[in-house]
Chain A
Amino acid sequence: MPAEAVRMEGIVKRFPGVVANAGIDFSLSFGEVHGLLGENGAGKTVLMSILYGLYQPDSGQTYVRGEPVRIRSPSVAIRLGIGMVHQHFMLVPRLTVLENMAVGWEPRRGPFLDREGMRKRIEALVEEYGLSVDPEARVEELSVGEQQRVEILKALYRGAEILILDEPTAVLTEQEVEALFKTIRALRDQGKAVVFITHKLHEAMTICDRVTVLRKGKKVGTVPISEATPEKLAEMMVGREVVFRVQPKPVQKEGKELLRVEGLTVHDERGLPAVRNVSFSLFDHEILGIAGVEGNGQKELVEALTGLRPPKAGKVYVGGKEATGLSARELAQLGLVHIPEDRQATGLILPFSLAENVVLGRHREDGFALGPWVQLRRRIFRYAEEAVRTFSIVAPSVRVPVQNLSGGNQQRVVLARELGRKPKVVVAHQPTRGLDVAGMEFVWEKLLELREKGCGVLLVSMDLDEILMLADRVAVMYRGEIVGIWPREEADKHELGLAMLGGKVAAR
């Protein structure tokens, strides 16, 4: 029996109107990767935040290495050798990797930061765990995957032996997930304890030794991975069977061009071209998938199509009308809606209530306002309550600030709002990011339903499986260009993967 790293007993945590953790027992051993699964709002983040000292439990006891402890703050947790990589990263963009790691933890030589000593230690860690990052790069220049590696490095640098990873793969491409798994295995082999939170069951099956499932704040059980199957885990999580795949129905296409992009060029913040001379069309009754490794221009393409970033050159037509450079509101009037990838920075106003967020951007619509001076609050509340029901949002009331909702429930608020608009064209950027299995299934079905109704859906996703399951055609973006568009029947996963990495392709 390996040594016990953490034992949590009878952890209870209440928030106004919700019991986030209702008496949870949890144990973690050194040399183990322990999966933590559960639906959105099940209490995973809260439980681990308690272990990391971000919240105090209302009752319950935590033991670390067998000793009873009270973890009053993250600094206590760090001293106990606990590190956490959050669902949202907490890095300072302007600083370099090295400086970020030094914040609040500065090794000094005299009055100065001991840069040399730090760099040596970082390089040793990079070497040992395969976490390739340049210590002198600025965080704002890093991809999301690299930022995550910085967060892991930071935790290890501070001497973490117990590492909590909260949905680390939600932002990664398949290749990056592979690299992360290598790191996690190396950590396990070094005898460290890892908590791995995820919604992707096949990932849990691949990397975990044991899995604990939470549902509605309670623990359903802990099982060794040898006794688990994805189906069984899903059933433990949701309490019913879940389908992992949906099947697009054959539809009668009319051949109407709903979105047409001609020679679009878009620059990024630094003024460099991020999208280069891109052209494609989206037709009715169609889902067009855009695959690619993050950072190849998808973000800028989406922003240019949705009125968040003016294009440098090229033209965009929505429903036959020229729509180049229109504002988000004007595009919405043409029937184009946008599910943004970054719900916290773009899709929501965190201190606003659920009800206020559910009408964000629709707050001037007839049902919700009479001109600019009267807000129809009853209607807004009623609409929000309906959205909570149809999108199974877990929230104590529609008046709570959305920042109090779990990550997946925040995503549902965005979806409820945008899909409630009766769109003609949907630009969906990572629409299932952070959703649990049931939530993903729900979104997939919604997107297919839109397709059956005749909408055009532009699905930008890093999850190739998701694209191959839903899309009628698949486009691959690489270095700002669309390197090819394949009909789904002809799309081959291997070939697409190559194209995403810049391999030359001879496709249409």
Chain B
Amino acid sequence: MRLARELGLVFASLALAFGVGALVAQLSGLSPSAVYRELVRGAFGDQYRFFQTLTQATPIIFTSLSFLIAFRAGLFNIGAEGQLYMGAFFGAWAGFTFVLPPYLHTVVALLVGALVGAVWGFIPGWLRARRGTNEFVSTMMLSYVAIYFTSWLVSPRGPYHGTQWANQTVRILSSAELPRFVRGMQLHWGLAIAGLLSLLLWYFLFRTPRGYEMRAVGQNPRAAQYAGIDVPRTMILALTLAGALAGLGGAAEVLGTHRRFIEFFSPGYGWDGIAGGLIARAHPLAVIPAAILIGALRAGGMGMDRAGVAPADFASVLQGIVIFFVVAPELFRLFRRIRRERRVLVHSQP
């Protein structure tokens, strides 16, 4: 029942978005049918392209999960981008610094990435729980700190400037690589890890007492406190896990796709995670198709450009339209909920 309605809503918004996209294309003097043909072909046309789409989707799954777990606890993690960068840099660092047997090295590097990401989530979590600092602002600020800090680390004046021609680290050791599924293609085991984490997160939220507490805090902190739940601790836990998920995503991206840390490597995966989490209606399993949709728009957009039917800029416009239409209803609902909750607090039913 509810599921059918939610799905209906998502597909209706998608249809609307593509309709508006067609209109915009027409008005810009482009052929809508050619644009969409190349978009679909670019994203799903052959195995290579499809794998490219999945490669794009992989970090988005991580950042969507990151946004979602905080959201379920009633918090906004706007800083997944920075957590991703921290995880990516330190994952790479572990990859070229430690000397360990293959696989074990990969696992250790992933864990280091997750850990540093967790720290980057813990700080705003702690500030929120103990000092009341708005996490919306603090996660965003820390995000910029992370992006510029890691950029400095690999700049010519930084300690990890690895190559002369670009601001990036040296290559990770081959023992730390996250294996790829098929030779010559970037798609790597990070996707499997992301899928597994979606499942785990679902189990955590809906099948464990801790997850129950997290949802309780998100839905009604006062009732949660009444129920003996440690609300501040739960908030800290949620943002720490959020940071860990984004950090792990960053580390996987580096160990699987780039094999080194490159400054400003992310095209905005952290921001895509907000869209992904909202499109998925904060459901961990729905995050996978949501991330694939966003990944397809990215990959397909490049395809459109290559085919010459539309400039790359138009691809971004289209992405914007789709995300706007699919996310806007959810945002709208969210604000309505917040407003209603404020009202409920006035009073109390007899």
One of B41-49, B180-188, B203-211, B257-265 at the interface: B203-211
Complex contacts, B345 vs chain A, CB 8 Å: 93, 345
A466 at the interface (CB under 8 A from B): no
Given contact pairs A363-B209, A369-B209, A170 touches B348 in the complex (Cβ within 8 A): no
For the complex formed, measure the closest distance between the CB of A84 and the CB atoms of chain B, giving whole angstroms. Answer: 14
Interface residues of A in 117-150 (CB under 8 A from B): 139-140, 144, 147
Question: For the side of the interface on B, what is the size category?
Answer: 20 to 34
Interchain residue pairs with CB less than 8 A apart (28)? A16-B1, A91-B347, A92-B342, A144-B347, A147-B347, A307-B228, A329-B230, A343-B349, A344-B344, A344-B348, A344-B349, A345-B222, A345-B223, A345-B344, A348-B220, A349-B216, A349-B223, A350-B219, A360-B223, A360-B227, A361-B228, A363-B213, A372-B210, A373-B208, A373-B210, A375-B209, A377-B207, A434-B349
> Which residue from chain A places its CB closest to the CB of B350 in the assembled complex?
A170
> Which residue from chain B places its CB closest to the CB of A329 in the assembled complex?
B228
- Contact indicator B227/A361 (Cβ below 8 Å): yes
A217 at the interface (CB under 8 A from B): no
Contact pick for B223, options A91, A306, A348, A375, CB 8 Å: A348
Given contact pairs A347-B223, A375-B207, A171 touches B350 in the complex (Cβ within 8 A): yes
Alpha-carbon gap, A294 to B342, bound state (A): 22
Contact pick for A87, options B209, B213, B220, B349, CB 8 Å: B349
B346 at the interface (CB under 8 A from A): yes
- Contact indicator B227/A140 (Cβ below 8 Å): no
Complex contacts, B226 vs chain A, CB 8 Å: 306, 308, 328, 338, 340, 346-347, 361
Residues of chain B having any CB pair with chain A under 8 Å: 1, 207-210, 212-213, 215-216, 219-220, 222-230, 342-350
A88 at the interface (CB under 8 A from B): yes
Alpha-carbon gap, A340 to B227, bound state (A): 11
Please provide the 5 A-B residue pairs with the shortest distance between their CB atoms, ordered closest to farther.
Answer: A170-B350, A329-B228, A361-B227, A342-B348, A88-B349
Alpha-carbon gap, A303 to B342, bound state (A): 20
- Contact indicator A407/B349 (Cβ below 8 Å): yes
- Contact indicator A372/B347 (Cβ below 8 Å): no
Complex contacts, B229 vs chain A, CB 8 Å: 329, 361
> Which residue from chain A places its CB closest to the CB of B203 in the assembled complex?
A373
- Contact indicator A363/B348 (Cβ below 8 Å): no
- Contact indicator B225/A308 (Cβ below 8 Å): yes
- Contact indicator A434/B350 (Cβ below 8 Å): yes
Complex contacts, B225 vs chain A, CB 8 Å: 308, 328
- Contact indicator B208/A372 (Cβ below 8 Å): yes
Complex contacts, B228 vs chain A, CB 8 Å: 307, 327-330, 332, 361
Alpha-carbon gap, A350 to B228, bound state (A): 17
Complex contacts, B220 vs chain A, CB 8 Å: 345, 348-350
Q: What 1/0 mask marks residues of chain A from 303 to 347 whose CB sits below 8 Å from any chain B CB? A: 000111000000000000000000111101000001011111111
